[in-house]
Amino acid sequence: MEEIEFILESAEESMTGSIEHLEKSFLNIRAGKASPAMLGSVFVDYYGSSTPLSQIAKISVPDARTITLQPFEKNMLHTIEKAIMVANIGFNPMNNGDLIIISVPALTEERRRELAKQAKVEAEDAKVGIRNSRKDANTDIKKLEKEGTSEDVCKSAEDEVQTLTNTYIKKIDELLVNKEAEIMKV
């Protein structure tokens, strides 16, 4: 039935959205290795407008512990430096007149545990999103049943929704295991 296919597609789309959101959240949880994504939350006052750092400087990662920034305009060095400090992401930028160099500190065991907990919270939020999608889909299926769709068709659709839910919850668990391993790896 067309309505049931639509409900299943909507549920799957919503669940995929939860996974994508989780993956983005995991990018912001740094695992000790330098990455341009670590500066994703930094915005710089660029001639009066708040601009993402990546739009006003070239961000490079020469090694696992260093990030370098080369502003497209040299007069932005101090502004960028200040923006990184204000962003409060735990970095202490150094300015050598041409570049801004950030040394990414190694994570302490305690900090690794905190980040692993944060990853668990993000994964749990994603699971809640998946379960909400399931609930919405099942509610829509029940409405169809009340409107005269056969009980067997509706039961089969609910089973499909549950299968989708199990698949996506399993994906979240796998993503979490991988992220925790990445965080805890020294």
Q: 11 or 97, which is more confident?
A: 11
pTM of the model: 0.72
Pairing of strands 43-46, 94-95: unpaired
Residue 157 scores a pLDDT above 90: yes
Phi-psi category of 54—alpha, beta or left, where left has phi over 0 and alpha has psi -120 to 50?
alpha
**pLDDT score recorded for residue 25:** 86
Condensed to tens digits (0 to 9), the pLDDT of residues 86-121 reads 877 778 899 888 899 998 877 788 888 888 999 999
Distance CA 115, CA 31 (A): 8
